[in-house]
Structure 1
Amino acid sequence: MTRGNARVKEARKLSRRSERSERRLFLADGPKAVEGALGAGCVVEVFATTAATEQYAALAADAPAWTLVDDAALASLSDSVSPAGVVALCRFLDGAVPARARLTAICADVRDPGNAGTVIRCADAAGADAVVLAGHSVDAYNPKTVRASVGSLFHLPIVPEPDAASAVRAAQAAGLQVLAADGAGEVDLDEADELLARPTAWLFGNEAWGLPDELAALADHRVRIPIHGRAESLNLSTAAALCLYASARAQRRASPT
């Protein structure tokens, strides 16, 4: 273990996307994120307070480098209201959709980092094979995205794709049907088990305006989640959880293991 408040200044610059992209480094804040990063083998160094070092001794034992910093320095690396006292400096993960993927999520122009992180967490929980952040979506390594994923960022491939239409076509070329989550869709999620049992890429749109018509038109089907009460709609991460779990359930019933 070493003491290194001086290196915190350089690490702090990774709050900017341009800096992350240029250096291919990012920060993972909190014990769950650090644990996931250590498991993925992408940790360069861990910054921690003395108290956190005592609390998370198992993480310290696994880290390639563990640097003690004071509370103020650590807090400057975290955008959490109550920092847990441990932040990992990590290398970018080079993710790709697996060749035989059966369930993926494509997020098109998803701008909110909390939503993106929650979709990643939901995809991980549902057993999905990958998440594609397409178009003008937030980057996977935004601090709020990393934190909202609660470690799931390190459990499955997260794939950037600047062109959302290309992401849809690539999924179809790989043998996945693309289902667009659309409140006006012609297919009811509750009545689509046969469809959902097939290898699927779910296509989710922007939080505010959903999917552009031209992008939704590329999908094989548009699927609506039935609204039984008076709510106008569901937010993105809730809709993603329902769709991904519906597919996971149908696929497991069709091919029990």
Structure 2
Amino acid sequence: MFTPRTPRIVTARRLQRRKDRDQARRFLAEGPQAVREALAAGVVLELFGTPAGLERHADLAAQAPEVSPVTDEALAALTDTVHPQGLVALCEQVDVPIGEVLAKQPKLIAVLAEIRDPGNAGTVLRTADAAGADAVIFAGDAVDPYNGKCVRASAGSLFHLDVVRASLDVLDLLQNSGLQVLATSGTGEDDVDSLLDGGLLAAPTAWLFGSEAHGLPGELIAAADRRVRVPIYGGAESLNLAAAAAVCLYSSARAQR
């Protein structure tokens, strides 16, 4: 049984650092839900599990190409949660080039422009998946989609739709491919409801979302086709990023369907 000092555990533990994940093109997915979706996507290389975890989720262990029993201490070393769930999968990274996405003529894309919070990013990824988006682009100096908290917050959606890592220049590629680019802004001249009522959201669309703290970079707001706000009908000052993204993406999904 592997311990925290076993070389394979030591090597896997390094994947908690972004530079090591990028160099190895691998990452860790923690918990039965993430493991299940990673197995379905065919990207699991090895499954680490405590004896109790492997017994409790024998169906998942049976699907893994390699299963390595580990001590509770070894599993804890591979996670950053207070109460690990007994399973951690070593996975291949799943992001694809932007050209591969655009070749499919996507109808709905979410762009996370320099969003730093992994929980927010993972939640938007999950929301985009639920709304039927084709891809999520992590643009500029954005959080790593393989950050442990981001993977958990995506609730398996990381494995369901195309994930892209790109520079902020991706905006030009989206527009040249026929997508209208809509920048979310609390001071936008358009609002989501008016665009939905006017039929404008039925067109292929890329929504730009910025961080809650700083919003979108000014150059992206200026380069977008429209600047769009989510209308506030009550007394709230604003919506958080995940809630605003849900409103925008589902409005497009409704119009496109």
Retained in 2: the 8 A contact 1:186–1:223?
yes
**Runs ≥4 in structure 1, deviation > 3 angstroms?**
none
* 1:192 pairs with one of 167, 192, 195: 195
How far off is 1:168 after superposition? Answer: 1.1
* Structure 2: tracts of 5 or more residues without a match: none
**Corresponding position: 1:84 with 2:82:** no
How many equivalent residue pairs? 248
**Corresponding position: 1:245 with 2:250:** yes
Name the CA distance, whole Å, in 2 between partners of 1:98 and 1:155: 17
Q: How does 1:102-181 map to 2 (within 5 A)?
A: 102-161=107-166, 163-164=167-168, 166-181=169-184
Retained in 1: the 8 A contact 2:2–2:74?
no
**Corresponding position: 1:216 with 2:214:** no
Percent identity at matched positions?
Answer: 58
SS at match of 1:106: strand
Name the CA distance, whole Å, in 2 between partners of 1:140 and 1:94: 9
1:57-92 per-residue CA deviation (whole Å, 9 max, x = no partner) reads 111111000110011111111112211100000111
In structure 1, the partner of 2:59 is: 58
Q: Give the letter for the 1:173 counterpart.
A: N
In structure 1, the partner of 2:32 is: 31
Q: Give the letter for the 1:130 counterpart.
A: A
Retained in 1: the 8 A contact 2:95–2:165?
no
Q: Give the letter for the 2:149 counterpart.
A: K
Q: Give the letter for the 2:240 counterpart.
A: N
Name the CA distance, whole Å, in 1 between partners of 2:137 and 2:102: 12
1:94-147 per-residue CA deviation (whole Å, 9 max, x = no partner) reads 424242100000110000011111111000000000000001000111111111
Name the CA distance, whole Å, in 2 between partners of 1:104 and 1:116: 14
Retained in 1: the 8 A contact 2:111–2:138?
yes
SS at match of 1:133: strand
* Structure 1: tracts of 5 or more residues without a match: 253-257
Retained in 1: the 8 A contact 2:102–2:177?
no
